[in-house]
Amino acid sequence: MITVNGLTKRYARTTAVDHISFEVQRGQIVGFLGPNGAGKTTTMRMLTCFLTPTGGTATVAGFDILEQPLEVKKRIGYLPETPPVYPEMRIGEYLSFVGQIKGLSGANLRSRVDYACERCAVADVRNKIIGKLSKGYRQRVGLAQAIIHNPDVLILDEPTAGLDPKQINETRDLIKSLAGDHTIILSTHILPEVSQTCERVIIINRGKIVATDSVSNLQQRASSGESVLVEVAGRGGSLDASAVQRKLEQIAGVSRVLAKADGQKRVIFEVEAAKGRAVRGDVARAVVESGWDLNELRPTALSLEEIFLQLTGSEAHAEIEAVAAGGGNQ
Ligand code: ADP
């Protein structure tokens, strides 16, 4: 449904988007994740034909963004970071106005306005002035204008930014419910957004794609060989946890051993390996050869947050901390 090929945007001094390529299949919901300034908005503005690329190209629903921008625009619903609403208009009026700009008229226009109001849960307030709505409702109106012409693709720039937790949940549910009918790309600099809403993630940093995968694969990929959970039990009785810990620490390639649970008869440790070292086999051997039972040995799944940090480095870390402290640029 979307194919991006070497897309690039240079400003005078900055390369905001640097030769990015990716594909999005029909009906997928994809998270475009990256710290502020990574190039997300610039990419979205190019895909929606609001900005001309410096290089590369993309197709949306089979139409080229450079050659056939009008066809592309017909097939895209776009929700920019700040919803393009007119505060002095009533919701119904505004949606009708947007529908007309998108080429709808007559009974079709009326039924699409009804549908969008219903779908985005603003039907009961459609006669209200937009300027008097809460931010959460305004965002719903923003989504309603994006779907009014029933586009194949929805491009949503930071759709939950600035909302309170309840509004965030409602907006996420709404976006997920739209995924059946539309292919969706949403951008975010907040990690839970992706793991809770999307099937796939494209991570962008400094204009370059640093990872693209399904959310679950990415978690697995980044964790392999890095960290394992091991449960050890004493044969027929008590167990000396510190003896197990010492044994695990002596294994070549092991960088850290953390006690996770410490019982009379069994202990659980998290064993971290030095980067690039696979230690699972040695851990299993060490436990069994010491006369203990190996109850469980499995990779520890990294949170998407850890993966994001591994891929994008300390800069993103500072960003996440700022967000966690409530100081992020929402
Ligand atoms: P994101 O959406 O991921 O926060 P943006 O796409 O807004 O990132 O910005 C990417 C980079 O391009 C940033 O370094 C930003 O400062 C720069 N940039 C964006 N728009 C312009 C512009 N109109 N002129 C110059 N630089 C810009």
What distance in angstroms lies between residue 206's CA and the mean position of ligand 1's atoms? 10
What distance in angstroms lies between residue 136's CA and the mean position of ligand 1's atoms? 26
What's the rounded Cα separation, in Å, for the pair 289 and 63?
Answer: 63
**More confident call, 159 vs 319:** 159
Confidence at residue 162, expressed as pLDDT on a 0 to 100 scale: 84
219 lines ligand 1 (CB under 6 A): no
8 lines ligand 1 (CB under 6 A): no
Q: Do the bridges between strand 183-188 and strand 153-157 make them parallel or antiparallel, or are there none, so unpaired?
A: parallel
pLDDT tops 60 at residue 136? yes
From the CA of 38, give the closest atom in ligand 1.
Answer: 3
Confidence at residue 321, expressed as pLDDT on a 0 to 100 scale: 46
Q: Which residues pair with residue 270 across a beta bridge?
A: 229, 258
Average pLDDT over every residue of 129-146: 93
Confidence at residue 14, expressed as pLDDT on a 0 to 100 scale: 92
214 lines ligand 1 (CB under 6 A): no
- C-alpha separations of 233 from 177, 197, 261, 265, 297 in Å: 46, 39, 12, 6, 12
Confidence at residue 224, expressed as pLDDT on a 0 to 100 scale: 56
Residue with tokens 């402290």: 325
Percent of the chain at pLDDT > 90 equals 60
Confidence at residue 235, expressed as pLDDT on a 0 to 100 scale: 84
Average pLDDT over every residue of 292-305: 81
What distance in angstroms lies between residue 46's CA and the mean position of ligand 1's atoms? 12
pLDDT band at 278 (very low <50, low <70, confident <90, very high): confident
What distance in angstroms lies between residue 4's CA and the mean position of ligand 1's atoms? 19
Nearest CA to ligand 1 atom 13: 37
From the CA of 9, give the closest atom in ligand 1.
Answer: 12
13 lines ligand 1 (CB under 6 A): no
The answer to whether the beta carbons of residues 329 and 36 sit under 8 Å apart is yes
- C-alpha separations of 247 from 256, 257, 295 in Å: 12, 10, 16
Confidence at residue 223, expressed as pLDDT on a 0 to 100 scale: 57
What's the rounded Cα separation, in Å, for the pair 239 and 307?
Answer: 35
> CA angle, 313 as apex, 312 and 317 as ends, to 5°?
100
Confidence at residue 65, expressed as pLDDT on a 0 to 100 scale: 96
Nearest alpha-carbon partner for 154 in 307, 243, 27, 17: 27
Nearest CA to ligand 1 atom 10: 39
Any residues with CB less than 8 A from the CB of 268 and at least 6 apart, and which? Answer: 229, 230, 231, 232, 259, 260, 261, 262, 296
Mean pLDDT, rounded, of the chain: 87
* From 18, 33, 41, mutation site for ligand 1 pocket: most ligand atoms within 8 A of C-beta: 41
* From 8, 9, 10, 11, mutation site for ligand 1 pocket: most ligand atoms within 8 A of C-beta: 11
What distance in angstroms lies between residue 182's CA and the mean position of ligand 1's atoms? 27
Confidence at residue 275, expressed as pLDDT on a 0 to 100 scale: 76
Q: Which of 41-45, 92-96, 112-116, 256-260 has the lowest mean pLDDT?
A: 256-260
What distance in angstroms lies between residue 37's CA and the mean position of ligand 1's atoms? 5
Domains and CATH numbers, the chain: 2-75+151-220 (3.40.50.300), 224-299 (3.30.70.3190)
Any residues with CB less than 8 A from the CB of 327 and at least 6 apart, and which? Answer: none
Confidence at residue 315, expressed as pLDDT on a 0 to 100 scale: 52
What distance in angstroms lies between residue 56's CA and the mean position of ligand 1's atoms? 18
Q: What order do you get walking across the sheet with 153-157 strand by strand?
A: 76-79, 153-157, 183-188, 29-33, 200-205, 208-214
Confidence at residue 93, expressed as pLDDT on a 0 to 100 scale: 96
**More confident call, 170 vs 97:** 97
Confidence at residue 133, expressed as pLDDT on a 0 to 100 scale: 92
What's the rounded Cα separation, in Å, for the pair 182 and 188?
Answer: 19
Average pLDDT over every residue of 232-241: 86
